[in-house]
Chains A and B, each alone.
Chain A
Amino acid sequence: MKFSFTEEQDEFRSVLRRFLEDRSSTTEVRRLMATDTGWERERWSQINAELGLTAVAIPEAYGGHGFGVSEQCIVLEEMGRALLCAPYFSSTVLAASAILNAGTEAQKQALLPAIASGETVATLAFTEENGRWDNAGVAMQASANGAGYKLDGVKSFVLDGHTADLIVVLARKPGSAGDQGLCLFTVAADAAGLERSLLTSVDETRKLARLNFIDVEAELLGDDGGAAGPMGKTLVQAAICLANEMVGGADRLREDALAYVQMRMQFGRSIASFQVTKHKAADMLTDVELAKSSAYYAAAAFDEGDADIASVASLAKAAASEAYMQTAIHAIQMHGGIGFTWDNDTHLWFKRAKSSEVFLGDPNHHRELMMQGWKD
């Protein structure tokens, strides 16, 4: 198992960090989060064109660069740090992985190159209004419609669901339950009978949508009734990616809070000189670095085909969720009253910490998944 990054990976990270500091300032984040779309196609295309970020983890055979999850996670960590407003997680992590894991060769050839180039923005609609993150929670019906299928039901908490061009949808065959009868489909954003509405989210930098399907024509992606496996793999990969995105945000919050206490004076001295502040800062560093180790380990383990990867992914997601939220709480406290104001940037990451804590399953959910797979 690799426990450190190569020189090339370190170099890639530092280039990306400088680039995103320039392109995703908090002024820019605040501008984009106030829009209904949450991102702008032109801005995102420019950013993506320079570094080819959407192509990183897609195999070369489908127009990508063919790197692993480890490299994709460097991208995510830096995006989480910069709070970049872009449809990256939805399109490149969720949808592209689902297509890669489930699609036929012809479907991968047809769909992935445009996602890799960034031309198509896709998303994955799997959660419903019950807010469950497991296969058993899926109720949406896929019924036969001539040679194809039509979908009826509601998907919710769909990341960038109101702006994506292509929607990968998880549904089930009538009368099926649990892991049985699950199918993935692709649906065009402008399909007849599909109604999309933006949800008002706590974290304005990450837009969620509700999608209402009424007799919507859909194309089957991969095996008929065999989506449970590919979906499982997709969610494992997504949990690892989200964990890495989260530790990026947590580290940025930690650094900003540290910089603030270093300059803030009270009682005639820097508040960073108070031991109570120093000890909190030391604990924050410990929390974040430990969560980073798990996130990095999980990414490397995924690339190495670790047999326990589902457990490891859930461990990393749980660790990152707790560390990010705890860091965010400490960061506001360290700023004092100013940290609770809208003008101070801390709340932008605080809210991302909150939405990420819940997205793809909260820490309790992942700890239970981890225990189910624990080998000991």
Chain B
Amino acid sequence: MTDHTEDSVRAEARTWLEANWDVNLGLVKWRNKLADSGWGMPNWPSEWYGKDLSVGLVPVVEEEFRRIGALPIPKSGIRMLAAATILNHGSDMHKEKYLRPILTGEDVWCQLFSEPGSGSDLAGATTKAVMVGNKWVVNGQKVWTTSAHKARWGLLLARTDMNVPKHQGLSYFIIDMHQPGVEAVPLKQMNGHASFNQVFLTDAEVMPDFQVAELGDGWKVATTTLMHERRGADSLRSWGQVPDLEGSIYDEERAEVETTLAPYKWYPQRAGRVDLIMQRAKETGAINDPAMRQEIAKLMVLHKSAEWTARRARSAQEQGKPQGPEGSLGKLASSNVARASARVHTMVSGADAMLSGADGVMNGTIAEILISFPASSIAGGTDEIQRNIISERVLKMPKETRFDADKPFKDVPRNTVA
């Protein structure tokens, strides 16, 4: 790792890309080349499709990809969470079997963590894996599972021991989604979209080899997955941007992005679409009403303050300063913005706010804001959990009293799922 410099990496990457990049190559073929050469995931170990480069040198390689218009391996999506988890905790067999089809995009993955009975309290999962004969038999129900109906493999958090405290009784498995005991049912949301699934596990089977890490290490492994999920939240947005260039390989990736990102189509509306407020206020004349101007301005103050807070946090991080309180407020601030924006959109649209679809404003986009924003204060950690995190970790206030940490999980009161 030490003998690489920015210049040597740049030169090496450029030479390789110039020799190998071909817009007429099939997408999978190209990604296989990236896997074989190590240039697809240069910071991964050379033993596993990487080049042992430090993370700091990755942007140099990415720059070279952009310069020539070459397509990098998409760094987001559940499959990359699977890759990161497997690299950290998986066996050699897991790495051998799963990493390449993850990199080529041939295998879709899903994450089977949340359950109807454990939302904020993820470690309270009750889906059980029991060893019967020579295999694990899994029974339970998972929820909020993106892409479950298309997934080949699932990352499964399941309870293997009811007689120890809850964090210690969880184990982590890779489950084959193509089997009779796994049923994915789309979950229709209040805004009419069905981005997620419920997954019913009925005597689903997992061979012992597909347990990740030790028995009882499930929570530790899940934490790795979740850490990468939070880190990857930003890159989801940049993924959709395939270079506007001609060549069959670009068309192939555009089609992949279209399918993969389809569940996320309503996400901008969920965030409140502050970007549409001024345009709408001009269209409706609300901009001329003094009371409306106040409401719009209040929203803009909040929106800009939140945006500048995020930039302040990023700037401190780039300077290598210790993280200040501003770094922990983004999630809570953005759900405040979403709620405020939906309110102002309603006032700006007046009676039209009652109409949806083709009858609605902007072909239903405004209506979609009004019925999607509640998700922003729930998904990815509720506002209440965010406030607990801020008060306990940033402000050092006392932790919530726990009633579940020091007794066997079987004695902990929990939801009964019908």
Write the residues of chain A forming the contact surface with B, with a CB cutoff of 8 angstroms: 1-4, 258, 261-262, 270, 272-273, 275, 277-279, 281-283, 285-286, 289-294, 296-297, 315, 318-319, 322, 364, 367-368, 370-371, 374, 376
Q: Are B311 and A3 in contact (CB under 8 A)?
A: yes
Which residues in window 342-365 of B have CB below 8 A to A? none
Task: Output the nearest chain A residue to B332 by Cβ-Cβ distance.
Answer: A286
Which residue of chain B lies nearest to A277 when distances are taken between CB atoms in the complex?
Answer: B397
Which residues of the other chain, A, contact B298 by a CB distance below 8 angstroms? Answer: 367
Among B298-345, those with CB < 8 Å from A are 298, 300-302, 304-306, 308-309, 311-312, 314-316, 319, 321, 325-326, 329, 332-333, 336
Give chain A nearest CB distance to B57 CB in angstroms.
25
Contact check, A297 vs B390: say whether CB atoms are below 8 A apart: no
30 CB-based A-B contacts, threshold 8 Å: A1-B311, A2-B315, A3-B308, A3-B315, A3-B316, A4-B312, A4-B315, A272-B397, A278-B391, A279-B391, A282-B386, A282-B387, A282-B388, A285-B325, A285-B329, A285-B390, A286-B329, A286-B332, A289-B326, A290-B306, A290-B309, A292-B326, A293-B308, A293-B311, A315-B301, A318-B297, A367-B298, A367-B301, A371-B293, A374-B278
> Among B315, B319, B387, which residue has its beta carbon within 8 angstroms of that of A279?
B387
B391 and A371 within 8 A (CB) = no
Q: Are A281 and B395 closer than 8 Å at their CB atoms?
A: yes
Least Cβ distance of A66 to chain B in Å?
Answer: 25
Q: Name the distance in Å between B71's Cβ and chain A's nearest Cβ.
A: 32
Q: Are A4 and B388 in contact (CB under 8 A)?
A: no
Cβ–Cβ < 8 Å partners of B305 in chain A: 290-291, 293-294, 315, 319
Residues of B within 8 A of A270 (CB): 398
User: With the chains together, A114 CA to B387 CA distance in Å?
Assistant: 50
Min CB–CB distance A288 → chain B (angstroms): 9
User: Which residues of A sit under 8 angstroms from B309, Cβ to Cβ?
Assistant: 289-290, 292-293
A281 touches B397 (CB 8 A): yes
> Given A293-B309, A319-B301, A319-B305, A367–B398 Cβ distance below 8 Å?
no
Q: Give A281 Cβ to nearest chain B Cβ, in Å.
A: 5
Separation of A1 and B315 alpha carbons in the complex (Å): 10
Please give, as numbers and ranges, the residues of chain A lying within 8 Å of B308 by CB-CB distance.
3, 293-294, 296-297
Q: A3-B314, A368-B297 are in contact. Are A289 and B329 (CB under 8 A)?
A: yes
Instruction: Known contacts A278-B392, A282-B386, A282-B390; decide if A293 and B398 are in contact (CB<8 Å).
Output: no
Q: Is the CB of B312 within 8 A of A293?
A: yes
Q: Which residues of B contact A1 (CB under 8 A)?
A: 311
The answer to whether B333 touches A290 (Cβ under 8 A) is yes
Decide if A289 touches B325 in the complex (CB within 8 Å). Answer: yes
Task: Provide the bound-state CA to CA distance between A39 and B304, in Å.
Answer: 37
Given contacts A258-B395, A270-B398, 9 further A-B contacts (CB under 8 A): A273-B397, A275-B388, A278-B395, A279-B387, A279-B391, A281-B391, A286-B332, A290-B305, A370-B300
CB nearest neighbor in A for B399: A273
Q: Determine whether B400 belongs to the interface, using a CB cutoff of 8 Å to chain A.
A: yes
Would you call B262 an interface residue if the criterion is a C-beta within 8 Å of the partner chain's C-beta atoms? no
Alpha-carbon separation in the docked complex, A292 to B326 (Å): 10
Q: How close is A240's CB to chain B, nearest CB, in angstroms? A: 14
Of residues 253 to 312 in B, which have CB atoms within 8 Å of A's CB atoms? Answer: 278-279, 290, 293-294, 296-298, 300-302, 304-306, 308-309, 311-312
Contacts of A371 in B (CB 8 A): 293, 296-297
- Contact across chains for A294 and B304 when beta carbons are under 8 A apart: yes
B8 close to A (CB within 8 Å): no
Note all chain A residues with C-beta closer than 8 A to B302: 290
**Closest residue to B314 on the A side, CB-wise?**
A3
Q: Which of B279, B314, B395 has the most CB of A within 10 A?
A: B395
The chain B residue sitting closest to A1, CB to CB, is B311
Whether the pair A294, B301 counts as a contact (CB closer than 8 A) is yes
Beta-carbon contact of B316 and A4 below 8 Å: yes
With contacts A3-B312, A285-B395, A368-B293 taken as known, whether A374 is within 8 angstroms of B300 at the C-beta atoms is yes
Establish whether residues A315 and B391, one from each chain, have CB atoms under 8 Å apart when the complex forms: no
Which residue of chain B is the closest to A368 with respect to CB atoms? Answer: B293
Q: Which residues of B contact A281 (CB under 8 A)?
A: 390-391, 395, 397
In contact, B297 and A367 (Cβ under 8 angstroms)? yes
B241 on interface, CB distance cutoff 8 Å: no
Q: Is B2 an interface residue (CB 8 A)?
A: no
- Chain B residues whose CB sits within 8 angstroms of the CB of A258 once the complex forms: 395, 397
Q: Is the CB of B297 within 8 A of A370?
A: yes
Knowing A3-B311, A273-B401, A374-B278 are in contact, say whether A293-B326 is a contact too (CB < 8 A).
yes
Distance in angstroms from A368 CB to nearest chain B CB is: 6
Evaluate whether A283 and B387 lie within 8 angstroms (CB atoms) in the complex, with A289-B326, A294-B305 already known: yes
A282 touches B395 (CB 8 A): yes
Complexed CA–CA distance, A292 and B333 (Å): 14
Which single residue of chain B is at the shortest CB-CB distance from A322? Answer: B301
B384 within 8 A of A: yes
A349 to chain B, nearest CB (A): 19
Contacts of A289 in B (CB 8 A): 309, 325-326, 329
- Once A4-B312, A294-B304 are accepted as A-B contacts, the answer to whether A282 and B293 lie under 8 Å apart by CB is no
Q: Which residue of A lies closest to B316 (CB)?
A: A4
Q: What B residues does A315 contact at CB under 8 A?
A: 300-301, 304-305
**Cβ of A327 to closest chain B Cβ, rounded Å:** 14
Which residues in A have their C-beta under 8 angstroms from that of B392? 278
**What is the distance, in angstroms, from A365's C-beta to the closest C-beta of chain B?**
10
Taking CB atoms, residues of chain B closer than 8 Å to A318 are: 297, 301
7 closest residue pairs by CB, A with B: A367-B297, A278-B391, A3-B315, A290-B305, A273-B398, A282-B387, A282-B390
Residues on A with C-beta less than 8 A from B278 are 374, 376
* Residues in chain A near residue B290, CB distance under 8 A: 368
Q: B131 on the interface (CB 8 Å rule)?
A: no
CA distance A297 to B301 in the complex (A): 12
Contact B397 A278 (CB under 8 A): yes
Report which of A282, A291, A367 forms a contact with B294, defined as CB distance below 8 A: A367
Q: B residues within 8 A CB of A2? A: 315
Task: Identify the closest chain B residue to A269 (Cβ).
Answer: B398
Q: Chain A: which residue is nearest B336 at the CB level?
A: A286
State A368–B288 Cα separation when bound (angstroms).
Answer: 11
B236 at the A interface (CB under 8 A): no
Closest to B298 in A: A367
A370 to B314 CA separation, bound complex (whole angstroms): 26
Q: Mark B156-186, 1 if CB is under 8 A from A, else 0.
A: 0000000000000000000000000000000
With A and B bound together, what is the CA distance between A290 and B298 in angstroms? 13
B25 at interface, CB cutoff 8 A: no
Q: Report B343 CB to chain A, min CB distance, Å.
A: 16
CB distance from A297 to the nearest CB of B (A): 5
Complex formed: what's the CA distance from A272 to B304 in Å? 31
> What separation, in Å, do the CA atoms of A293 and B333 have in the docked complex?
12
